[in-house]
Amino acid sequence: MNFISTRGGEKVNGAAQAIVKGLAEDGGLFVPESFPAVSREELEEMLPLSYPERAAKVLSKYLDDYDGAELLSALEAAYSKFEGDPAPLVRIDEGIYILELWHGPTCAFKDMALTVLPYLLRKGADICGIKENILILVATSGDTGKAALEGFKDAPGIKIMVFYPDDGVSKMQKLQMCTQDGSNVNVVAVKGNFDDCQTAVKRIFADKEQAKLLKEKNIILSSANSINFGRLAPQIAYYFSAYLDLVGGGQIEMGEEIDFSVPTGNFGNILAAYYAKRMGLPVRRLHCASNMNNILTDFFASGSYDTHREFFKTTSPSMDILISSNLERLLFEVCGRDAARTAELMGDLKQKGEYKVTPEEKAEIAKIFDGGFANEDEVVETVYDVFCDTGYTMDTHTGCAMKVAIDWFEKNKKDNTKMVVVSTANPYKFPQDVLYAVTGNDVKDSFKGIKRLHAATAMAVPKSLSGLKDKPVRFTECVKRDKLFEEVLAFVDKK
């Protein structure tokens, strides 16, 4: 399968090249030249399969230059690191289900892709005949960084460097990253927010002089952010698996449409659901859930994407984003795959900090997407109400998505379509905020928060989080956003 840039300047033959490069040379994102189809018969055949087997069926549609048996073996190895079912579906109420995506090594949904990406990247480099060492650059709003570090630690021929916004992630997220072991990893805080980190990393990718300098050091760049198709592709699989679990559990009939409510920051997770729909999965609507940084909610309502707005630090920090990179892939589709038009919109965003889609493009988006958000008080209320009513404990990001799902049913009381709320993080990753929501108690220490949240909910505490207390902090550096490349060079030269 060929992959093309959303901005029209590049076409590569095979997923391996798209994955290894990460970002197109014109600054665009790689997308498949066409969407592969999954037939009803194929869905039926996938019903009895394990999660890795289902994922292999979906991924092989895009990764036709990878060996199928080897891909399945890699997926089985990746998901063996999870506790039980990698993506279990939990029934919460009549017509509402939660898709839990946080049973992996770092307790966040990013594990679903980032345990697989090291294989896709290393094998992709082999397929492309690339002999240079690979440097992974990651901008993170909290969860991607730790999942990428864990996935790539001590990987041969690969180094990974993660940049996170200083004071822009939770205490537990920061501790997870800054205690990371591995001889090939580095973590640096950036003075600013996630958008500053992401923009600075993209600038490094786009700078040909910097790329040349790294090439002289036998280094090529790649990305583990969802701008990389290798990060996006494994996420498509869990939407198929959730649907099949509903069918297999007798909750819906094969072919019946369902909705997903997805907590959204950089737009990768919900875009994967859109790709699943384009492949033939019976999805009716996608509800885009935001926190107080509700730029996407306003965009879906008005057609105007305007970053000139107040930035909020919230209790759902992985969604504290004003520039949603993967939205570019959706814009490419709704404007009829017009690369020049996509490049124009992205140019407006870079130069003016805003852009506006046409009424026709807005109408095309509205056929599938709608947006909603939850403010801080509403997140607390939602987490509390669901816990009191059902005994189920959710994190703050999932609380945003649940609030949007509840709002939808309150406005559409006769809607009988089943709703799957996507849960992206274990509640213990945000113990103080979840504890406050559930009990009203406020503690300053994360580990006291874990202890008291366990006492209140009896939910099992992941060992990977409780054990952080005794791990030494390895990374403490904090730099200005215009100094990232200097940090990259220092890391590359470090023996």
Cα separation of 157 and 143, whole Å? 24
Q: Which among 256, 236, 234, 233 has a CA at the least distance from the CA of 246?
A: 256
Ranked by mean pLDDT, the top range of 129-133, 336-340, 464-468 is 336-340
Q: How much is the pLDDT for 225?
A: 85
Contact by Cβ (8 Å): 265, 397: no
What is residue 143's predicted lDDT score, i.e. its pLDDT? 86
Once rounded to an integer, what is the mean pLDDT over residues 412-427? 97
pLDDT, tens digit, 9 for 90 and up, residues 58-69:
999 999 999 999
Give the burial string for 170-202 (b: 16+ CB within 10 Å, else e). bebbbbbbbbbeeebbbbbbbbbbbbbbbebbb
Tell me what pLDDT residue 142 has: 81
Cβ contact 378:297 at 8 Å: no
Percentage of the chain exceeding pLDDT 70: 100
pLDDT tens digits for 300-311? 999 999 999 999
Average the pLDDT over 204-220 and give the result. 93
* Model confidence at 254: pLDDT above 80: yes
Round the average pLDDT of the chain to a whole number and report it: 96
Write down the pLDDT at residue 167.
87
pLDDT in tens, 184-209: 999 999 999 999 999 999 899 989 89
Q: Tell me, what's the pLDDT at 141?
A: 87
Distance between CA atoms of residues 92 and 98, nearest Å: 7
At 9, the pLDDT band (50, 70, 90 cuts) reads: confident
- Residue 495: pLDDT over 80: no
Look at residue 193 in the predicted model and tell me its pLDDT. Answer: 93
> Is the confidence at residue 3, as pLDDT, over 80?
yes
* Assigned CATH class of 86-105+231-460: alpha beta
pLDDT of residue 204: 94
Contacts of 65 (CB under 8 A, 6+ apart): 1, 14, 15, 16, 127
Q: Are 201 and 192 in contact (CB under 8 A)?
A: no
* pLDDT surpassing 80 at residue 238: yes
Note the pLDDT tens digit of each residue in 435-444: 999 999 999 9
Average pLDDT over residues 201-228: 92
Q: Is the pLDDT of residue 293 over 90?
A: yes
pTM: 0.94
Distances (CA, A) of 60 to 53, 57, 178, 366, 404: 11, 5, 35, 30, 33
Q: Mean of the pLDDT values across residues 404-427?
A: 97
Instruction: Label residues 332-370 b or e (16+ Cβ within 10 Å = b).
Output: bbbbeebbebbbebbeebeeeeebebeeebbebbeebbb
pLDDT confidence bin for 377, thresholds 50/70/90: very high
* Residue-wise burial string across 124-158, b where 16 or more C-beta atoms lie within 10 A, e elsewhere: bbebbebeebbbbbbbbbbbbbbbbbbbbbebeeb
Mean pLDDT of 76-90: 97
Query: Over 90: is that where the pLDDT of 494 sits?
Result: no
Average pLDDT over residues 48-54: 98
Ordered by start, the domain boundaries in the chain are 86-105+231-460
Is a pLDDT exceeding 80 seen at residue 11? yes
